[in-house]
Chains A and B, each alone.
Chain A
Amino acid sequence: MALIEIPVGPQHPALHEPIMLRVRADGEKVVDVQVVTGYNHRGAEKLGERNTWNKNVFLYSRICGICNTVHAQTYTQGVEAIGGIEVPPRAQFLRTLIMELERIHSHILIAAVMAEVVGFESLFMLMMRDREPVMMLKELVTGNRVLSDYYTLGGVRRDIDEVRKDKILKVLERVEERVKYYKKVFTEDFTLNKRLVGVGIIKAADAVKYSLVGPTLRGSGVKSDVRSDDPYAAYGEVPFKVITYDGGDCLSRMLVRFDETLQSIEIVRYVLTHLPQGPIAPKTPIRMLPAGEAFSRVEAPRGELIYHIVSKGGDKPYRVKVRTPSFHNIINGLIAYKEAKIADVPVILTSFDPCISCTERVLIIDEKSGNSRYIRLKDLGRGV
């Protein structure tokens, strides 16, 4: 059997850096996986040094569309730490609300993509249908479906009223029921279990050593969640559980996300019923900051997101370092592919939630004949 090389990608837009996986396989068995990065490198860190503090809120939201509010949260809370800016409690609660709505739609999306990758297309379509109401709720709160631009330095830009509050609670009831049903499908469906159980196992010790974060780490049984360990926004006041599963395989990582979605719905309910009164943003916009630096951490849907912001005083940052969760999970998660089958590669990659692209393509090169052809990652998952 000839050793074949299969580049997966490169258009896999995993947040900050989409990558190409270069899979070397002996027959069906994966021998080695390498990674090629840089297709999505847009130089946002450098651009940030050019912009003012306020303009950067919009720039850093656009590093990732799916987790735009957590990027805005990490940046603004870092800047607020440097400037010693107090955020009003109502704004803190509203920030928590929008971040949790984002987590709900992000987790449903990746579960849907997982269904598609294993070839369960009707489940994908159903989950996408049930995700739409959550997008609608985001629009209701922020005015936009995806990129919300909800944040401003020291607060948020829009308030919420009783009508919107009731609408959110009502829609989430239906979403909760559906998420519970999909969790049941994922745990009980025979075909899904065949594809997910025991695939891409990462042991707890390895997960820590290789610096994996988020649901990938918690799926290996390590209890680590920025929301409870290093509380920000209103998480210090909101009761919630940190979900862990011990399996370390693809199913465990997916089940962590399902349970987290249910937790997020509870958090949204708590936030809406305990919303404090008061202002939502400072009266005058913040323009100048003193010198200083901040290490700002947030639990994004995909794991720990960290910004290192350095200020030398003035109206612009001196340096902003961004490290997104997928940067660790994709590149350091290569350990999970060892001994896997080729058809499992897309499943394992999807279980890390590397954000989503609907045109993943795979180039198969037969080393003997030198022929190459493009097929979709999805089809590879089905064993084409």
Chain B
Amino acid sequence: MFSHKVIRYSPWLVHFNTGACNGCDIEVLASLTPYYDPERFGVKLAPNPRHADVMVVTGAVTKKAAERLKRLYDQMPSPKFVVAVGACAISGGVFSGSYSLVSGADKVVPVSMYVPGCPPRPEAILYGVVRLLSKLDGGMD
């Protein structure tokens, strides 16, 4: 899989909030600042979903945002991966059972990596992305 190997060196992220409380969002933002230095892994925020390799989804997926999530995912070029960040993006978290949620990003798009936490620390988010990269390399089951 040649294309997978190319991504490994510089995965570009696109971040989409599907109804988060902002807790995960500010941690995703914090993980992209020099304090945590994501560029040592080649990780960069993509300007556009069409440039992105990895989509970082935060937040309980609301029914209205679900359509947008699907559309954004379709716009990304293959190969593409989704990382679900935080308890809400994984299962709906404290909001599961609400009338306006589909709960969990994996109900809408295929998710390759889950980063648990409420919210996860910036280190954990970067770790999740780096684990995804080693998975592409065949370094992980």
Contact = CB atoms under 8 A, between A and B. Distances in A.
A137 to B, nearest CB: 15
A125 B21 contact: no
Given A43-B95, A128-B33, A374-B49, A13 B26 contact: no
A11 interface: yes
A62 B23 contact: yes
A68 interface: yes
Contacts of B93: 62
Contacts of A81: none
Given A62-B94, A146-B119, A147-B119, A358 B19 contact: no
Contacts of B32: 358
B95 A47 contact: yes
A248 B50 CA distance: 39
A358 B26 CA distance: 8
Interface string A308-348: 00000000000000000000000000000000000000000
Most buried by B among A42, A47, A62: A42
B55 to A, nearest CB: 10
B95 A62 contact: yes
Contact of A42 (B49, B60, B119, B121): B60
A64 B49 contact: no
Contacts of A41: 19, 62, 64, 100
A129 B88 CA distance: 27
Interface in A144-171: 145-147
B109 interface: no
Sorting the interface of chain A by its residue count into under 10, 10 to 19, 20 to 34 or 35 or more gives 35 or more
B35 A132 contact: yes
A68 B65 contact: no
Contact of A129 (B24, B34, B97): B34
Contacts of A13: 17, 19-22, 25, 59
Contacts of A374: 48-50, 75
Interface string A118-142: 0000000100110010010000000
Contacts of B94: 47, 58-59, 62
A357 interface: yes
Given A359-B16, A376-B47, A68 B21 contact: yes
A37 B100 CA distance: 13
A40 B119 contact: no
B99 A11 contact: no
B47 A379 contact: yes
Given A46-B98, A63-B21, A147-B118, A125 B68 contact: no
Contact of B45 (A47, A62, A128, A358): A358
Contacts of A305: none
Interface string A211-232: 0000000000000000000000
Contacts of A135: 30
Contact of A64 (B22, B62, B65, B121): B22
Contact of A43 (B30, B75, B99): B99
A62 B87 CA distance: 11
Interface string A31-71: 00000001111111011001000000011001111101000
A65 B98 contact: no
A375 B14 CA distance: 12
B136 interface: no
Contacts of A379: 47
A376 B22 CA distance: 19
B81 to A, nearest CB: 16
A66 B26 contact: yes
Contacts of B88: 62
B47 to A, nearest CB: 6
Given A63-B21, A65-B23, A128-B35, A375 B48 contact: yes
10 contacts: A11-B18, A38-B64, A41-B62, A41-B64, A47-B97, A62-B94, A65-B21, A128-B33, A145-B121, A361-B49
Closest 6 CB pairs of A and B: A65-B23, A43-B98, A65-B22, A128-B33, A65-B21, A359-B15
